[in-house]
Amino acid sequence: MEHLIEVEGLYKHFPVKTFWGRKKGAVKAVDGVSFYIDKGKTVGLVGESGCGKSTLGKTIIRMNDVTAGRILFNGEDISKVKGRKLKEIHSKMQIIFQDPYSSLDPHMTVKDIIAEPLRVYRKLSEAEIVKEVSDLLEQVGLRADDMKKYAYEFSGGQRQRIGIARAISVKPEFILCDEPISALDVSIQAQVVNLLKELQEKYKLTYLFVAHDLTMVHHIADVIAVMYLGKIVEIGSSDDVYFNPKHPYTQALMKAVPKIEKDKVLDLNRDILEGDLPSPLDTQKGCSFCGRCPYAEEICKVNVPELKDDGTGHRTACFMHKKMQKNEIKFA
Amino acid sequence: MNRWKRIKKAFLNDKGAIVSISFLILLAVISLIAPILPLNPNKTDILHLLEAPSVNHWFGTDEVGRDYLARIIYGGRISLVVGILAMVMSTVIGVSVGMVSGFFGGIVDSVLMRIVDVIQSIPWLILVTVVGIFMKKGLLSIIVVIGFFSWMEIARLVRAEVKSLKERDYIQYASFAGIGALKVICRHLIPAVMPTIIVAASSGIANAIMTESALSFLGIGIQEPLSSWGKLLQTAQSNLQNAVYMAIIPGFLIVLTIFAFNKIGNLLRIYLEPRVSEDLA
């Protein structure tokens, strides 16, 4: 399988400056991430708020500058491209935003919103644009004459469809879905996810799907990557990670998903992870999760665990993992 | 287009707005046709000094016997021209500076904002007086002086708004999609800050009219035989005991004009906000 995107040791640090402009430290939003995305596949990226998953996505599509590392897109390093070349890359990599309200200009008609990237990348006449936009609107399940309306006349789910139409208008190869469903009603979420899947089949799209809802990610993704404090702590096929989580953090995330069991009242408070994400400003020795990990031992506080393959392509960054397998530690 | 229809509807439903617009249109028409009216603002008549309003002189006469109605009409022309042109000038400078400052940020922002701080830290009356003394006296220099020293407020407002708009996803997307800075400003930012600009501009007219009055009062504004409402108000002071109408009429007109501009600006601001226009219509 051909890799569409390959990320190698990617870092994205935001400098924090003092009042006098001297550098005080850095927010390590993305701190050494390596993974790849196969052509036509979906990688789901999960993690709690503030762990850097959106930043990672936006850095990959070069909405942000890269601090260090390489991003290969179709085998070509795009981590440092600028100007016209970057513009060209952006026509092949698009984004769908989380907030359907701030992602569409309230002063523009739907036609102008969707045609915005079209006008930049393809030289079309006004009549061709109208034809293209009505075609796109129908593909995302809206009506062609909706193009004369303003964005505020639509509901959240419909607005997200407009955002999707805008993203696919330039026929991209890769789309970053930056939590596209977290702001929507549950009943609408499935519709949007199914629309994304439909479009993926039709146009052979590749997705990086950022979310914090594990069930939904399991449904749409082929590969799930779990992020914690700027690092990927576990990555593997969707079923492996969902049904057989290995990293204590992933296990805690899974337990936090309420499950419906027959004739049982569930105690939602059991085994909930305590504490908060440590500040990405602090430089911490050892595993970034060890402060909250119920299994942490001495080694976790000193060394940083690397991602280790278990032989099936399911990789975990945890020292305690071997011990857990040998049943030296029992999971709750 | 249906947004403009809604604005029209809102205006027609608001009695204050109808009165304001009618009043301003009346003022504009009278100012425009003033030269063809049988009125001469400079003709003196020493036999009829400080006469109260009558059939011959609807607004009475002033201290050298000039027809006060003609003085008021010609004074209104000056006041309106000064108000509108100074407003246009300060709005153009203020919006440009604020837009550039907020959009580009960094050093450009720091330098521009420090310039604003410096100009704003000097009491404007002293500034305007000093500059007014050095410049050639006349209508144009008054407009330039007022326009050039009243844009800082607008610049700050626009800058603050642009800084927050810049973080919105749709602005970020526009830059991401390879749209140039100038196009992003014209297509996305100007429409978004329009409500703020309109309010600032409408109060800008009012302020310019008042500033002009103050300058005329100090003797560095409009020069005789030209007149403006502010100038008339100043002259009226010395005759307050004999001819109260000389102060009341221009004062009343200044208040009404400022009120009308503010009323319309306020209504426009509300109805240019797309979501609000939806809710209220």
* Tokens 């506080």 -> residue: A301
DSSP state of A90: H
- pLDDT exceeding 70 applies to what percent of chain B? 96
- Considering only alpha carbons, which residue of chain B is nearest residue A154? B275
Cβ-contact A87, B178 below 8 angstroms: yes
Number of domains in chain B: 1
For A68-94, b/e burial (b = at least 16 CB within 10 A) is ebebbbeeeebbebeeeeebebbbbbb
Cβ-contact A61, B172 below 8 angstroms: no
Please state the pTM of the whole predicted model.
0.82
Cβ-contact B69, B61 below 8 angstroms: no
Average pLDDT over residues A55-59: 93
At residue A260, the pLDDT reads 66
- Considering only alpha carbons, which residue of chain A is nearest residue B192? A107
Q: Is the pLDDT of residue B195 over 70?
A: yes
Neighbours of A141 (CB within 10 A): 16
Contact flag B179-A90 (C-beta cutoff 8 Å): no
Q: What's chain B's average pLDDT?
A: 85
DSSP state of B187: I
Q: Bigger pLDDT: B185 or B238? A: B185
Helix B245-272 with B190-218: angle, nearest 10 deg: 170
Q: Is the pLDDT of residue B103 over 90?
A: yes
DSSP state of A107: T
Q: Is the pLDDT of residue A37 over 90?
A: yes
Q: Bigger pLDDT: A43 or B202? A: A43
For residue A104, the number of C-alpha atoms closer than 13 Å in the C-beta half-sphere is 32
At residue B281, the pLDDT reads 43
Indicate the domain borders of chain A: 3-260
Tokens of B39: 């009125």
Q: Which domain holds residue B155?
A: 2-280
Top CATH class, A3-260 = alpha beta
Contact flag B177-A152 (C-beta cutoff 8 Å): no
> ∠B34-B63-B46 over CA atoms, to 5°?
90
Tokens of A33: 């991430």
Enter the ipTM: 0.85
Contact flag B177-A117 (C-beta cutoff 8 Å): yes
CATH number at residue B140: 1.10.3720.10
**Sheet hosting strand A23-38, strand order edge to edge:** A23-38, A3-17, A68-73, A76-77
Contact flag B173-A153 (C-beta cutoff 8 Å): no
Residue A218 CA from chain centroid, whole number: 13
Q: Tens of pLDDT along A190-223?
A: 899 999 999 999 999 999 999 888 888 998 999 9
Phi and psi (nearest 5°) for B145? -60, -45
Q: Bigger pLDDT: A267 or B92? A: B92
Rounded CA Rg of chain A: 21
Look at residues A23, A27, A6 and name the one whose alpha carbon lies nearest to residue A230: A27
Residues of chain B neighbouring A116 (CB-CB closer than 8 A):
173-174, 177, 179
Tokens of A89: 């890359």
Mutation target vs B (from A78, A89, A104, A105; most B CBs, 10 A cutoff): A105
Q: Tens of pLDDT along A128-169?
A: 999 999 999 999 999 998 889 888 889 889 999 999 999 999
Q: Is the pLDDT of residue A266 over 70?
A: no
Tokens of B20: 């304001």
Tokens of A267: 């105690």
Residues of chain A neighbouring B185 (CB-CB closer than 8 A):
none
Contact flag A90-B177 (C-beta cutoff 8 Å): yes
Cis geometry, peptide bond prior to residue B225 (ω within 30 degrees of 0):
yes
Contact flag A106-B178 (C-beta cutoff 8 Å): no
- Which run of H or of E encompasses A314? none
Q: Please name the residues in contact with B122: beta carbons below 8 A apart, sequence gap of 6 or more.
A: none
